[in-house]
Amino acid sequence: MRLFFSLLTLFINVLVAGLFLYSKLLPYKDRLTGNYKSMFDFFDSIFGPLLKWLKQRVKPHQVGNGLFIDMSQFIILLILLFLITVLH
């Protein structure tokens, strides 16, 4: 059972790193090639529908004049970090 939780924690850590890379590479997805494209497509298949669903329900938060934070990405990050905490 401990091995399962360790593997699940590892997978969630990969998702956290993937969310970061996904958010940084999203504007450039049409320029990705090879392994980077397939890795991006993997994370897009996970985060794309989830972010789309959340964006319909949660509005961006204004942090300055014309400056907004995408709260859907922040919510996913908090959920993943919470899951890591709970699994330990």
- Determine the Cα–Cα distance for residues 75 and 58; give it in Å rounded to an integer: 9
Distance, CA of 28 to CA of 44 (rounded, Å): 13
How many domains does one find in the chain? Answer: 1
In this prediction, residues 78-88 reach a mean pLDDT of: 92
pLDDT tens per residue across span 10-65: 999 999 999 999 999 999 999 999 999 999 999 999 999 999 999 999 999 999 99
- CA-CA distance, 37 to 35, in Å (whole number)? 5
Residue numbers of the domain that contains 76:
2-87
- Tens of pLDDT, residue by residue over 67-82, are 998 899 999 999 999 9
Whole-Å CA distances, 49 to 6, 7, 19, 56, 88: 27, 24, 13, 11, 28
Provide the pLDDT for residue 88: 78
